[in-house]
A = this chain, B = another copy of it.
Amino acid sequence: MAKPASLSGFPEWLPSGRLLEQLVLDSLRRTFELHGFSSLETRAVEPLADLLRKGETSKEVYVLSRLQGQDGEDSSRKLGLHFDLTVPLARYVLENAGHLAFPYRRYQIQKVWRGERPQDGRFREFTQADIDVVGMDKLSFHHEVEVALVIADALSALPIGDFRISVNNRKICQGFYQAIGLENIDEALRVIDKLDKIGPQKVTQALIEQAGANEEQAQLALQLAAISGSESHDVRRRVNELGHTSELLEEGLAELCALLDGAKESAPGRVTAELKIARGLDYYTGSVYETTLVGHENLGSICSGGRYDSLASDGKKTYPGVGLSIGVSRLVSRLIATGAAAPSRAVPTAVLVAVNNEGERASSDAVARELRARGIPTEVAPSAAKFGKQIRYADRRQIPYVWFPGEDGGQIKDIRSGQQDAADPATWMPPAEDLWPHLS
C-alpha cells in the first residue's frame, strides 16, 4: 500500500490532539449533565426526503447506496448522512414521544457530514455538541434563558479564553418591521443577517430591491440592527427611541430584557444583545443566539441556535423547542493549531513499569496490576532494553513516572525532576494532578 493521502475536510488528530478533544468533550458532557440534560445518540442516517425538507441544505447531503444494492431500489427509501443534529432530534421526538418525559432535556454529541467545499474551520465531517429543551404543545420562555446560561457555563469551563454570546429575539425584528409597514419580513431578516458581511450600503440596497422596503423603512431597519448592549434598560430605551411599536415588538423586547437580566445574574459579561443578529433560518420564532471567541472572531460563530415554536409536529401534537449547537471540531482544530490549550501529557499512562529482563516480566506485570487496581494508569515496558532506553521510551510519550521493580516493591522515578524514591505498589500514589491527563 502506498502512503495514503489525507482527505481534505475529514480532520483526524494525533494522539495528543485527540486527547485534547476528549477532554473538551468530557467537560461539555459534565456541564450538560450537571444541568440535567440526558444524552441522545441517533443513527447517522435519515431518509433523504426528511433531510431535504428544509430545502436550503440539499446541496450538502451525502447519499448512501449499498455497493451490491439493486438498481431498482425504491428511491423514496434512500438514506443520507445527517448534516445536523436537529433533523434527527425532531424525528426521534416524534417517533418516541410516548416514551419521553416533557420538557425533554437532551444533549447530543455526534459527527455530522456536509459535502460542501472544505475551508479553514469548515469541514465535511465534524463533531457537534447540541443541547435542546423540547416541550409538548408548550414550552415556557424561561428555557430560552436557561439554555444560554448552560452554554455560558459549558464554554467557561473550557480553556478557550473569553467569549461573547450575542442574542436577539425574532419577535423584535418582526414586530418592528410590522410596525413600520415592511411586509416581506423573511426576506428582510435574511438581508439583515448579512450586515457584517456586505455592509450597510449593500444591505440598504437589498432591503429596497429584494425585501420591498422604501428608503425610510430600510434606514429604520438598519437603525434597529445597530442597537447592541448588555444592560436591559439601555437596550429597551434605544428601541423605544426609534418611535415605532407593536404588541409583538413589546413581547420580544420583554423577553430579550429578561434574558439579559438572567445572564447578568448567572454569567456576568458573557451575554450581549445584538439586534443585527437574525440567523438565516426561517424556523426560529423567539430568542436567537450566536457565539464568538474574543480574538478569534474570524472563526465565525462557534455556537448558535434559537427558539422554534415547531421543531416537529405529527398533526395532533406540536413540539416547540429551544437549543444551541457547539461546533466542537471548529473549536478543537483552532485550539490545536494555536496551541492555546493542550493536555497535561500526550497519553493516559502515568507510570511505565520497567522490565529488568524478559525472564522477570511477570513481576513487572504484577506491579502494574497492583497500581491499576488502585486506579493508576500503568503500562509495562515493551522490551527489557537498557534502563536508559526504557526511560527514553517513557520520556518520548510524556509518561511522567518510571517504576523499577525490585526487592520490597522497588523504586519510582519522576523523570521530569529525576527524583527517585523507594516505593510500595500497594500504597504509592502520584500527586492528584499527575493521575490522569487534564487540560492546561
Which chain A residues have a beta carbon within 8 Å of chain B's beta carbons? 1-7, 10-15, 18-19, 21-22, 33-45, 47-48, 50, 58-69, 79-81, 90-92, 94-96, 99-101, 103, 105-106, 111, 113, 115, 125, 140, 142-143, 146, 153, 262, 265-266, 312-315, 346-349, 361-362, 365, 369, 372, 375-380, 382-383, 393, 396-397, 399, 436
Contacts and interface: CB of A to CB of B under 8 A. Distances in A.
Contacts of A265: 362, 365
Given A1-B314, A38-B15, A67 B50 contact: no
A143 to B, nearest CB: 8
14 contacts: A1-B91, A4-B47, A7-B45, A10-B45, A15-B38, A15-B106, A34-B348, A34-B378, A36-B347, A36-B377, A58-B67, A101-B397, A105-B379, A265-B365
A36 B379 contact: yes
A106 B14 CA distance: 11
Nearest to A31: B372
A66 B347 CA distance: 37
Given A2-B314, A44-B44, A45-B125, 4 more contacts: A4-B50, A6-B95, A35-B378, A36-B378
A317 to B, nearest CB: 10
Q: Would you call the interface of chain A mostly helix, strand, loop, or mixed?
A: mixed
A58 B62 contact: no
Given A15-B100, A99-B14, A105-B379, A372 B61 contact: no
Nearest to A97: B3
Given A38-B19, A266-B365, A379-B36, A58 B64 contact: no
Contacts of A369: 266
Given A38-B15, A39-B22, A115-B67, A4 B95 contact: yes
A349 B36 CA distance: 5
> In the complex this chain forms, how many copies of it are found?
2
A115 B69 contact: yes
Contacts of A100: 14-15
B312 A111 contact: no
Given A35-B379, A38-B347, A67-B80, A43 B125 contact: yes
A2 B315 CA distance: 8
Contacts of A113: 44
B103 A382 contact: yes
A62 to B, nearest CB: 5
B63 A62 contact: no
Contacts of A91: 1, 4
A359 B32 CA distance: 26
A260 B312 CA distance: 57
Contacts of A313: 1
**Most chain B beta-carbon neighbours within 10 Å: one of A5, A43, A314, A379:** A43
B68 A115 contact: yes
B18 A41 contact: yes
Contact of A140 (B1, B383, B397): B383
Give 5 nearest A-B pairs by CB, closest first.
Answer: A36-B379, A33-B348, A36-B349, A66-B115, A10-B43
